[in-house]
Copies of this chain bind each other. A is one copy, B any other.
């Protein structure tokens, strides 16, 4: 349990959810604490009861992202034992998000981009959800019998992230779909590389 999770409670969760939405839509810098508070109907000062600093709020949002990622991967694991099905399921999550991705980018990738310039630890923390997905994908490729599963995991997730970035840049959801279809075909074909 990280420091930013210490104080629990419904209200805190609502604040984090509101902040996550705002961070995603307007970016970290453009999101002022006053507006986060207002959007959640609490006075500005009260935020500081739950989050000591703005960074701490961002950290809480990252933690919430991490939890969502964990839940997503667990759901994928639960739905099928076949690694190809699992990996395809991962890819389809971004297909499902194509419209919002075209408008605001991938929630995971854009946060990492925005926090990249920090020299506090926030940049590293933001990368953790991405890292976790990479590890999970690596396990799936390993289960498929790949000699070197890590590069395959990188290729898969790079495709997803790059597709999201392009869709966002072009404001065109189709770019995301194009890449998703490519990755699905690649997975079906045995990736042309493993074994």
Interface residues of A (CB under 8 A from B): 25-27, 29-30, 104-105, 109-110, 112-114, 116-117, 124, 126-127, 130-131, 134, 150-151, 154-155, 157-163, 165-166, 168-171, 175, 178-179, 181-182, 185, 189, 192-193
Interface of A is mostly: helix
**Would you call A154 and B163 a contact (CB within 8 A)?**
yes
Per a CB cutoff under 8 Å, which of B27, B104, B113, B163 touches A158? B163
**Would you call A154 and B130 a contact (CB within 8 A)?**
no
Bound-state Cα–Cα, A192 to B178, Å: 15
Known A-B contacts A162-B160, A192-B189; the reply to A104 vs B130 at CB < 8 A is no
Bound-state Cα–Cα, A151 to B174, Å: 10
**In the complex, which residues of chain B have a beta carbon less than 8 angstroms from the beta carbon of A117?**
25-27, 30, 104
Question: Residue of B at shortest CB range from A163?
Answer: B158
A152 to chain B, nearest CB (A): 9
**In the complex, which residues of chain B have a beta carbon less than 8 angstroms from the beta carbon of A29?**
29
